Amino acid sequence: MKLNNIEVQNIYMLGIGGVGMGALAQYFLYYGCQVYGYDRVRSEICEILENKGAKIHYLPNITLIPDDIDIVIYTPAIPIDFEELQIIKNKNLPIYKRSDILAMITPQLETYAVAGSHGKSTITAMLSHIWYTAHRDFIAMIGAIVKDYENNFFINGEPKEFIVEADEYDKTFLKFTVDTGIITSIEPDHLDIYKNLDALKDAFREFAHKIKNEIWIDENVNLQIDKNINTYGLSNSSDIYAYNIRLDDGATVFDIYSNYHQIKIENLHLHAAGMHNIRNATAAIAIALSKNINIDQIKKAINSYPGLKRRLDLIYNGKNKKYYDDYAHHPTEIDTLFDALKTLYPDKTFCAIFQPHLYSRTLYLADDFATSLSKWDRIILLDIYPAREQPIEGVTSEWLLSKINNNNKYLMSKDELLTNLSNISEDILVTIGAGDIDRLREPIKNKLIEYEA
């Protein structure tokens, strides 16, 4: 295949097991390329790729990189001094960040890009499910695995459209060519890149100005831009809004009215809990209506939306305890998670098992994290997951724990957590974080099964 006039057949990917890199790898595999890669852990994404023919190794080994590689793609999560990366650079191979490759793909297809501090993966997944239900010819790359599909990469027919997350980290989203865009929220994050909220807002403003056609922005986002925008939300002052929201047999039922499209849709059923997911669905429906997807297909897709792994993901439903897992890694996301659980189980008690992600995020948002975590009945902190970062002096989970205003708080290692699991008296346990805390899902589940046997 050709990529920016480069003939590409053999590709090497550093950090291939991440969700973003994994979706891109599947794109190349679909078009008949041979994909090789390295990651330090064999993730669920790696298993998907290996089943599709990718060759992956898990210990750095330069001899496993074929001689006939056409391009190398890497993720910013790979340290700049990583041995394989340095040797590849010395070979003078064409080398690109993942965002550079997406910037080459987006101009070739009608692109729908979802940006924002929260909700990107869910809206991208909802759009993809609607498009799949409507039998559209499209590609989608999603930042989490979609249940039932068991993948984060969709491709259908001869693709004419591209649904993709537009990540603000490393200013990735500014490289895209976008036809239709969504901005879900703008909150302080990635301040190692942006330094302050004003700089982050400037980047979102630049993203918005680059969108060719429609842009849909959550009604709560305060972003002054010199451009026509459309709003979505729960208020009838928005261009499209959800209303008449009620619960019915485990589903949230709601109606939609679009001033923009002059359309009303009644009795939509959504099985993903939380008001934030009503907002997410409203954004996805706005785009679907603009692309003339009929109401019956929209209703069918919303009703059958399966949800994402690691988004309020019920792992164990026992006689006395329930166990959920969630990707939340920002204070607002933890608040949203807490509110959703309280809505589902108003009379239950909750234990948060949180693994902070990144030293810089912990440093910049420590007080907000402390406030969010203080609400839970019991708080257990694991050590900070460093990802791409080096430690920052004084920034530790012990330091964060000291800020939490709750006497029922603990600092534990993963092993200590599993050993002490039987001492947790709360009704509902939730593992929270964007690091490797998800590897505790099966061990925790197995322990709970053992205790409740």
Task: State pLDDT tens for residues 352-371.
Answer: 999 999 999 999 999 999 99
Residue of 153, 423, 230, 432 whose CA lies nearest to 312: 432
Residue 452 in this model has a pLDDT that exceeds 90: no
What is the reported pTM? 0.91
User: What is the Cα–Cα distance from 261 to 230, expressed in whole angstroms?
Assistant: 11
315: tokens are 């792992």
At 65-103, the pLDDT tens digits run: 888 999 999 988 787 788 888 888 888 888 999 999 999
> Band of the pLDDT at 351, cuts 50, 70, 90?
very high
Q: Are 436 and 357 in contact (CB under 8 A)?
A: no
Q: What pLDDT score was predicted for residue 180?
A: 98
User: What is the Cα–Cα distance from 146 to 133, expressed in whole angstroms?
Assistant: 14
163: tokens are 């649904």
> Band of the pLDDT at 185, cuts 50, 70, 90?
very high
Q: What pLDDT score was predicted for residue 80?
A: 79
The mean pLDDT value for 180-193 works out to 85
The mean pLDDT value for 383-395 works out to 92
CATH 3.40.50.11260 assigned to domain 2-98? The reply is no
Given the candidates 2.40.37.10, 3.40.1190.10, 1.10.1060.10, 3.30.450.20, the CATH classification of the domain at 109-304 is 3.40.1190.10
Residue 121 in this model has a pLDDT that exceeds 90: yes
149: tokens are 């599909």
Residue with tokens 């993720």: 75
Least confident of 129-133, 289-293, 397-401, 449-453: 449-453
**Amino acid of residue 7:** E
Residue 453 in this model has a pLDDT that exceeds 80: no
SS3 of the chain: the string is CEECCEECCEEEEECCCCHHHHHHHHHHHHCCCEEEEECCCCCHHHHHHHHCCCEEECCCCHHHCCCCCCEEEECCCCCCCCHHHHHHHHCCCCEEEHHHHHHHHHHHCEEEEEECCCCHHHHHHHHHHHHHHCCCCEEEEEEEEECCCCEEEEEECCCCEEEEECCCHHHHHHHCCCCEEEECCCCCCCHHHHCCHHHHHHHHHHHHHHCCCCEEEECCCCCCCCCCCEEEECCCCCCEEEEEEEEECCEEEEEEEECCCCEEEEEEEECCCCHHHHHHHHHHHHHHHHCCCCHHHHHHHHHHCCCECCCCEEEEECCCCEEEEECCCCHHHHHHHHHHHHHHCCCCCEEEEECCECHHHHHHCHHHHHHHHHCCCEEEECCCECCCCCCCCCCCHHHHHHHCCCCCEEECCHHHHHHCHHHCCCCEEEEECCCCHHHHHHHHHHHHHHHHC
The mean pLDDT value for 377-391 works out to 93
Residue 7 in this model has a pLDDT that exceeds 90: no
Q: What percent of the chain has pLDDT over 90?
A: 81
For residue 265, the cross-strand partners are 256
**Angle formed by the axes of helices 275-290 and 331-344, nearest 10°:** 100
Q: What pLDDT score was predicted for residue 6?
A: 80
> Band of the pLDDT at 307, cuts 50, 70, 90?
very high
**Main-chain phi, psi angles of 176, to 5 degrees:** -80, 150
Mean pLDDT of the chain: 94
At 202-254, the pLDDT tens digits run: 999 999 999 999 999 999 999 889 899 999 999 999 999 999 999 888 889 99
**Angle formed by the axes of helices 331-344 and 366-374, nearest 10°:** 10
Q: What is the CATH number of domain 313-452?
A: 3.90.190.20
Within a 13 Å sphere around the CA of 127, how many CA atoms are in the beta-carbon half? 36
Q: Where are the domains of the chain?
A: 2-98, 109-304, 313-452
**Amino acid of residue 435:** G
**Would the CATH topology of 2-98 be identical to that of 109-304?**
no
Q: What pLDDT score was predicted for residue 197?
A: 86
At 401-430, the pLDDT tens digits run: 999 999 999 999 999 999 999 999 999 999
At 128-172, the pLDDT tens digits run: 999 999 999 999 999 999 999 999 999 999 999 999 999 888 888
Residue 116 in this model has a pLDDT that exceeds 90: yes
Q: What pLDDT score was predicted for residue 4?
A: 78
Which residues, other chains included, contact 307 with Cβ-Cβ below 8 Å and sequence gap of 6+?
Answer: 125, 146, 147, 271, 272, 313
At 40-49, the pLDDT tens digits run: 889 999 999 9
